[in-house]
Structure 1
Amino acid sequence: MKCTSCVCMKGSLLLAMNLNRRLTSSNNRPREDSWLKSLFVRKVDPRKDAHSNLLAKKETSSLYKLQFHNVKPECLDAYNKICQEVLPKIHEDKHYPCTLVGTWNTWYGEQDQAVHLWRYEGGYPALTEVMNKLRENQEFVSFRKARSDMLLSRKNQLLLEFSFWNEPVPRSGPNIYELRSYQLRPGTMIEWGNYWARAIRFRQDGNEAVGGFFSQIGQLYMVHHLWAYKDLQTREDIRNAAWHKHGWEELVYYTVPLIQEMESRIMIPLKTSPLQ
């Protein structure tokens, strides 16, 4: 006959071992559990304002236009030439409430591509004013006609700037520029902004942060981060250094599940670009 006390002790021991195994397993998988949860739709607090009003700079009413022009390979030099002749005139003319922030050719990424970034001081009314005035500008009308014969395709987006990013201002060169574009999952823009409001402090040491924007018209739930580097090796060194800063890896860990697609362009500024 088995001792009753022995059976009880074995039962208690097995129960304790099972409980310890479950606790150990649970402790080893907190990040995995949180990552899995992040793949699904999270509970979002009801909001009484558009995300553009929550994330954009309050002290300015600037609207940005980002243009992508895919140029016929044989026409790229001629395209750059007429852009450098006409676009600075609009930028410098006080008659137009707009500023050419930067103009580039894509070096790595989609080839034979031109990228232009404009700022409209005064938002949508300024954009409408510039469009109406340019229709009466015969030099610009001729420029657009000549330009259209050189293009394979073009698209644009209207953007607002994140409140926690630097204001894009002219800088001397030479620099290369990286435009990192993120297609986010719908409904995650606020979450992205909350994480990057903290993440941006890890990327300010080398003054590489130029500007951060999110789309309003065009392809929606798009985010664009613009960076400047001395060269590709400097870019590599700066990006690697971020991983040695406590907290950076956690912010990357939680923002990755918010992304559907992402793209990186390395760009070279044209001679007339305010961002050199």
Structure 2
Amino acid sequence: MAATLAKLRSLYTSKPASFTPLSIRLLSTSSALQDTHEGWFSKLLVRRIEPTKESHSRLLSDKEVIYELQTHNVRPDSVDNYLENYKENVKLITSRDLHCELVGSWTVQVGDLDQALHLWRYTGGFASIDNATRTLSQDKDFRKLQLERGKMLRSRHLQYLLAFSYWPAIQQRSGHNIYEIRSYRLKPGTMIEWGNNWARAINYRRNNDEPFAGFFSQIGRLYNVHHMWCYKDLQTRKETREAAWRLPGWDECVAYTVPLIREMHTRILLPTEFSPTQ
């Protein structure tokens, strides 16, 4: 029995002369193949950002212009009444001297259906938002519209955003268009890295009309980024996006930003009848 056990132990502990561990085999890969793998893998690495004493928002944006993104999930049987109510809400707010204006108003065509998005711009920073909140909370007509609208909603969400400084200035569109909002949830601490890459990436599409707005969150769901694009239709969207991939350098910018993303989704939007941008 002792001799048998000794033989078994020798089988498990001994290695044939030709045995090569997996790690050694990988290290002995030909230099040409290794260079190919390193070139592909290096595009997926997140480049290190040096520490800074400046806030990320100060480096990326003008903090005196705040954007408010309202997201309303509407009861399916109340969409028409809801839009009529919000139209009156816009008229009331714009009739007051509140240093804010509606930039755009949309309903979702593809994505989260029965959803409406409203984008407001405040000049004067958060002081203007504080003043508007106080003023409207005491306005009986505003509160009445708000109470009526609440009965038409399933849920709602509010975010305060800053615009990326490298994004083209928002310009209102006319005619018949669709909009796409691509929303990203980033890994905490990667906003500067995102901005560094997209400051280059936006140049590949700046000559076209489709860039509408680019934002990152200040209050609400943090480390959220929203890119908004404008197209004539879905076919134009397809052709424009495919053309971007044919430009040298676009793929590299995408490769650097993909590792920063934890979650992303997109929605196709249609402007409402009362939206300033169409």
Worse overlay, 214-223 or 79-88: 79-88
Question: What's 2:201 paired with?
Answer: 199
Decide whether the 8 Å contact of 1:88 with 1:272 is kept in 2.
no
Indicate yes or no: 2:77 matched with 1:69: no
Sort the Cα spacing of 1:204 and 1:145 in 2 relative to 1 into closer, same or farther, 3 A: same
Indicate yes or no: 2:81 matched with 1:78: yes
Indicate yes or no: 2:107 matched with 1:96: no
Decide whether the 8 Å contact of 1:180 with 1:265 is kept in 2.
yes
Question: For 1:148-195, what per-residue CA distance to the aligned partner results, in whole angstroms no more than 9, with x for missing partners?
Answer: 001100011110000001222322121101011000111110000000
The partner residue of 2:42 within 34, 53, 58 is 34
Measured in 2, the distance between the counterparts of 1:261 and 1:165 equals 22
Decide whether the 8 Å contact of 2:45 with 2:256 is kept in 1.
no
* Secondary structure, aligned partner of 2:217: strand
Measured in 2, the distance between the counterparts of 1:268 and 1:36 equals 35
Identity %: 47
Give the Å deviation of 1:204.
Answer: 2.0
Aligned residues: 253
Question: What's 1:11 paired with?
Answer: none
* Secondary structure, aligned partner of 1:166: coil
Indicate yes or no: 2:55 matched with 1:50: yes
Decide whether the 8 Å contact of 1:68 with 1:113 is kept in 2.
yes
Unaligned ranges ≥5, structure 1: 1-17
What is the one-letter code of the residue matched to 2:82?
Y
Question: What's 2:19 paired with?
Answer: none
Measured in 2, the distance between the counterparts of 1:178 and 1:19 equals 46
* Secondary structure, aligned partner of 1:29: helix
Question: What's 2:182 paired with?
Answer: 180
Question: What's 2:238 paired with?
Answer: 236
Unaligned ranges ≥5, structure 2: 1-25
Question: For 1:102-144, what per-residue CA distance to the aligned partner results, in whole angstroms no more than 9, with x for missing partners?
Answer: 1111110001001011111111000011111111222111000
What is the one-letter code of the residue matched to 2:120?
W
What is the one-letter code of the residue matched to 1:114?
A
The partner residue of 2:256 within 254, 257, 260 is 254
What is the one-letter code of the residue matched to 1:107?
Q
Measured in 1, the distance between the counterparts of 2:209 and 2:98 equals 30
Normalising to structure 2: TM-score of the pair?
Answer: 0.87
Stretches (4+) displaced over 3 A: 18-22, 35-38
